[in-house]
Amino acid sequence: MLNQSVPDFELASTGGTSFQLSQHLGKPLVIYFYPKDSTPGCTTEGQHFRDLYPQFAAASATVLGVSRDSLKSHENFKAKLNLPFELLSDPEEVVCNLFGVMKMKNMYGKQVRGVERSTFVIGADGTLKQEWRGVKVDGHAQQVLDFIKSL
């Protein structure tokens, strides 16, 4: 999928709006997929993107978080962490499937289907420029920022 056009999509967003990819072309877009609001790893990841957000903004990049949680859950999570970017709700897994982030995972010895922590950078031209799958949280937001600065 690298260097290929990302199909247009639309999802409900925090802030009472909806996000449509085709309306956000012209600058780099960072979309990070995470398993669940208010869990330890997802909280840390959100905080890292939050703390680096001014540098993403200075590089003209838009940052978005996506999970299967409800908008109500997202609004609470966003408020609790004081996130300066929107979170998109994908309960039907439409965009999760588009990016292939739904995986079988082991949780407490059981196989469960969930979101594999992944990040994608879509260029100003709408093509996929970079992807990270099976992300480890520590240092990841900085890696993404370094890539954005290299564009």
SS3 string, 51-116, reads HHHHHHHHCCCEEEEEECCCHHHHHHHHHHHCCCCEEEECCCCHHHHHCCCEEEEEECCEEEEEEC
Q: How far is it between the farthest Cα atoms of the chain? A: 45
Task: For residues 62 and 59, give the distance between their C-alpha atoms in angstroms, rounded to a whole number.
Answer: 9
Q: Is 96 a catalytic residue?
A: no
Backbone angles phi, psi at 56, to 5 degrees: -65, -45
Task: For residues 91 and 118, give the distance between their C-alpha atoms in angstroms, rounded to a whole number.
Answer: 17
- From 11, 30, 42, 81, active-site residue: 42
The residues assigned a catalytic role are 42
